[in-house]
Structure 1
C-alpha cells in the first residue's frame, strides 16, 4: 500500500506540474529592473506586437505568485504584464513603513512603488503607452488612487475592492470583481457601480469603455477572498474588460490553476505518508494516562491565561507586524503547556537521541519539498536573507508550542476530541488576544486561515510520523521549525521608524 500511494502521488504531482507549467508555454517571463530595487517580473507572449501595459499588485501578506492566474492570462492575451512584490512582502527586502492609518503614510509609499513599476514597464519596447492597474484586496485601494496620478491609468481592475477614492466618474474604465462569499466586498462592488448608475445590477456594464467612461461590477460565484483570484469568471471578466477598453479581441483559454494547485498540494502531502512509513518503527514512550480533566486544563488554561498575561504589554522587537506578540504568545503558551505535562509525568521517554534526526526530516520535507511547491505556484515561501532573523525569532516560540501540542495530542494517537480541543483552544486564544487589543493585534486575524491550513496539512503529516516512530515530540520539533518558517515568510516586514 505505501508503494501504491507513493506511485499515485508522484503521478498526480507530475501531471499537476505539467499542467501548471503549460500555462507558461509561449510566454517569456523575465525579471524587470525597477527604480528602488522592487522585485518585479515581466510576462510577454512570444511574437505579439505592441500592447497596453498591465501592472498587477497583490494584497496584504501576498506576493507575485498569488497573482499568477491574472498575469498569465493577460500575457497570453497579448498584454505586456508586470507583477511585483510590494515592500515588506515576498522577495522585497525593503520593509513597509509609514503610518498605516493615514492616506499620506503607508498608502502613499505603496502608491509611489506602484508608479515606479509602471514607469519601468512602460519603458519596454513592446509597451504602446497605454496603462492598466490591476490589484487585489489591500492593493485595490492603492491602484485606484494611483490611477488618478501620473502615470495615469486608462483602465483599472479592482478585485475584492474597498476604496473611498472611487467617484462616479473616476477612475477611468473601472471593473470591480468580488467573490460571492465575500459579502461585504460584493456589496462594495455594487456600490461603486451604482455611483455611476443607481439602477445598475451585478454584471451590467454602464458607460462606454471606448471613451474611458465604462464601469462594471462582477460577482464571481462560489468563491471567497483568495478563491476569487482563481475564478474563471474573474479571469474572463478582466480580459474581456481590457479588450473592450482598448478595442482588442483576445482569445484562448484563461489560466485556470486552482484545481491543479489543490491537486499538487494534496498529492505532495499524501507523499509524506509512504515516506513516514519508511522511517524506523518504534513503540514510543508510555507515559501515565491523562484524565479528561487534566486534558481540559492543559488545553484551556494556557488559552485563557496567556492573552490575559500579555495584554498589558506593548511588544516591539522583530521588524514584522505583530510577530513580536506572536512569538511571546506561542512561546508562553507552549511553555505553560509543557510545564503542566511535565508535572503530570508526560515527558517519560519523549526525547531519545533519534528524535533530532526524525524532527529534522519532518522540517526538511515541510520546508524544502512542500514549501518549494508553494513558492513556485502559490505564494512566496523562500525568504531573502533579511527574513532569516525573523524566522529564527519565531522559532523560539513556535518550537515550544508545537512540542507541547505533539505531546498533548500523543503525536496523532490521541482521540479526535483531544486533538480538536487542543487546536481550537489555541485559535480561540489568538481570538481573545485580538479582542483584548484590537487596534494593535487585528493583523493576527490575517494569519488565522494560515494556522488552520497549517494544522490540516502539516498536523496530518506530523500524525503519520508520530504514529510510525512512536515519537510525538519529533513531529512537534520539526513542525515548530516549519511553522516559524511559514509565518516568517508570510508576515509583511514593517519599520515604522523609516518614514
Structure 2
C-alpha cells in the first residue's frame, strides 16, 4: 500500500507543512493578509495583497508602503519586502500591475500600469497615515511607482527603485523625487537599459543617475545626499547581486527596508535591516511546490488503482537493451537542442503577435520555441531510427486520468491559497491559481502545448527507456536529459557575468532570467514522463498532464498583452524588441 500511496501521502504532508510554515512567516507578529480588489482607471479592476499589522486603526493609523513586482510576475514576488515591512509595523499593499496576476487589462493598455490607482486605494484606507506613505518597485515595477509619484507629487514621502529606474519604458515621472533610494545590483543584467552603463557595478558613474540625484558623477555608494528631514535625500546602494536576486536577497530587501524605516515616521516595531525572516516563507512555498509534484505523481498512481483507469496499467516495453552509443546520442540531443535553440527561437517568436486567442506575448514566444523543437524532434526521429517501440495508447482514458490528476493538484493549491494565502513557489519559480479569465485564456494554449509534449515525451520514451532499468535511475536520467542543456546554458551565462560583469549573451537579459525556471520545470516534466510511462507503457498520459500543467503555469504567471484596440506592431519593430 505504501508503494502505491507513498507519493500521494508525501505530497500532502509537504504541501500542508510548507504552506503552514509560509503562512506563519507572513503573518508573524499578528499581521493579517487580505486579498483586495479596487477600482483602477479606464474601468479596470485591480488586485493586490494587503498586509495589515496588529493594532492599526483610524484612531492609530500606521505608515504604509505600496510595493510593485516586475514584468511577467505577480504580487507574491514582492512578499520579501511586504513581510519585512509589515512585521515592522507598516501597512503594505503588494499590487498586481495591470495585465498581471488578478488585475484586469493588458500591458500597454495602461501606460501607468495601475500605480496611481493603487496609491489612491492605499490612501483611502482609514488606518493608513496619509502623511507617511512610501513606494517601492522592482524592475518594471518602477513604472507604477514612478507614475504614482508623478500623479501625486505630495502623495508619498519616500521611494525606492529596486533594480529599476525613473522613466523606464517612457513612463511619466516627476522632475524631482522625495527621499529617493536606488538599489541596483553589481551584476544586474539590465544595467545598459536601466542606467545606460555596461555593467551594474558601474551604475555610480551613470550620467542618468547623476541627473536624477542632482549631483556630479560619480555618485558615492551608501552616501546620503541631501537630508531626509526636508525630503531631499538621495542614496545609492550597489549590492553584489543580480537582477532577480535584488528581490530575493538580504542585501536587496535590506536596502529598501532600511531606507523606508529611515524616511517614514511611525513604524511600530523598527528592526535592524539585517533582521529578516522572509526566506522561510519561500522555503515553505518551495516545499509546497515539491509536494505538489509528489501529489501529481501520487494521484496518478492511486487513480490507476480505480476501476475506471485500471486498464491503463501496462508494464513498460522499452526497445533498448542497454545504454549504447545511440542512447547517449539521443540523450545529448535531447539535452542540447532545446537550449541551443532557445534564444533564436524566442526572438523569432515575437512574430507570433498577441491576439484574442493567444494574448500573452511571452507565452507565444515559448510556444514557437516548443513547436519548432517538436518539428526538429520529428525530423531527427526519421534520421536516428532504432527499434520500433510498442506503445499501449488509450487516448480517451489517458485524457481522463490527466485531467483528474491535474484537478487534484489544482484543488490542493486552491485550498492552501484560500486557507493560508500562499501559492507554490520558490524565487522565480511560481505556480499561481487561475482566475476565470486566465482559465479561459489557457485553453487555446493547452492545445499547442499538448502537440509539443506528445512529440517530446514520445521521443523520450522511445529513445531513453532501457529494459530492466530501475525507477530512480530512469527518472534521474530523464530529468537530467530534459534540464541539463539549460543548466549548462545558465552556468555559462552566470559564470561569465560574475567573472566579467556581463552575461555571455549580454543582449538576452530577459530570456536568460526566463530560462532559470526551465531547470525545475523540465526536471518535473522528466519525472512525470518517467512515472507515467513506466506504469502505462504510454507517453500520452504524461504528455497531457505536462500540457495541462504548463498551460496553467505560464498563463497564470506571465503578462497579458492583447486587449480590444490592440494594434499589431510592424514586423521590423517586433524583431527589434
**1:65 counterpart (76, 82, 87):** 76
Deviates more, 1:143-152 or 1:299-308: 299-308
Change (3 A) 1:365 1:323: same
Deviation at 1:129, TM superposition (A): 2.1
TM norm structure 2: 0.69
Deviation at 1:137, TM superposition (A): 0.8
The yes-or-no answer on 1:230 pairing with 2:248 is yes
Change (3 A) 1:498 1:453: same
Aligned to 1:455: 522
**1:53 alignment partner, SS class:** strand
Aligned to 1:433: none
Change (3 A) 1:76 1:170: same
The yes-or-no answer on 1:240 pairing with 2:258 is yes
**1:34 counterpart (36, 39, 42):** 39
**2:514 alignment partner, SS class:** helix
Hey, what's the Cα distance between the residues in 2 that align with 1:137 and 1:17? 28
**2:247 alignment partner, SS class:** helix
Hey, what's the Cα distance between the residues in 1 that align with 2:338 and 2:38? 49
Change (3 A) 1:215 1:365: farther
Hey, what's the Cα distance between the residues in 2 that align with 1:150 and 1:89? 23
**2:246 alignment partner, SS class:** helix
Aligned to 1:74: 85
Change (3 A) 1:170 1:191: farther
Aligned to 1:473: 540
Deviates more, 1:397-406 or 1:452-461: 452-461
Deviations 1:364-391 (A, max 9, x none): 3554446876982445622233323431
TM norm structure 1: 0.79
Q: How many residues align?
A: 479
Change (3 A) 1:275 1:494: closer
Aligned to 1:87: 98
**1:52 alignment partner, SS class:** strand
**1:206 alignment partner, SS class:** coil
Q: Judge conservation of contact 1:362–1:462 (CA < 8 Å) in 2.
A: no
Hey, what's the Cα distance between the residues in 1 that align with 2:122 and 2:39? 9
Aligned to 1:404: 455
Q: Judge conservation of contact 1:28–1:44 (CA < 8 Å) in 2.
A: yes
Deviates more, 1:454-463 or 1:2-11: 2-11
Hey, what's the Cα distance between the residues in 2 that align with 1:96 and 1:397? 23
Aligned to 1:102: none
Q: Judge conservation of contact 2:533–2:542 (CA < 8 Å) in 1.
A: yes
Matches within 5 A, 1:113-262: 113-130=114-131, 131-152=133-154, 153-163=156-166, 170-179=176-185, 181-182=187-188, 185=191, 186-187=200-201, 190-191=204-205, 195=213, 196=215, 198=217, 201-220=220-239, 223-249=241-267, 250-251=269-270, 254-256=276-278, 257-262=281-286
Q: Which runs of 5+ in 2 are unaligned?
A: 192-199, 306-312, 467-473, 490-505, 568-577
Hey, what's the Cα distance between the residues in 2 that align with 1:231 and 1:27? 22
Hey, what's the Cα distance between the residues in 2 that align with 1:339 and 1:37? 47
Deviation at 1:357, TM superposition (A): 4.0
Hey, what's the Cα distance between the residues in 1 that align with 2:222 and 2:488? 39
Aligned to 1:334: 374
Deviation at 1:220, TM superposition (A): 4.6
**1:285 alignment partner, SS class:** coil
Aligned to 1:394: 445
Deviates more, 1:476-485 or 1:210-219: 210-219
Q: Judge conservation of contact 1:288–1:346 (CA < 8 Å) in 2.
A: no
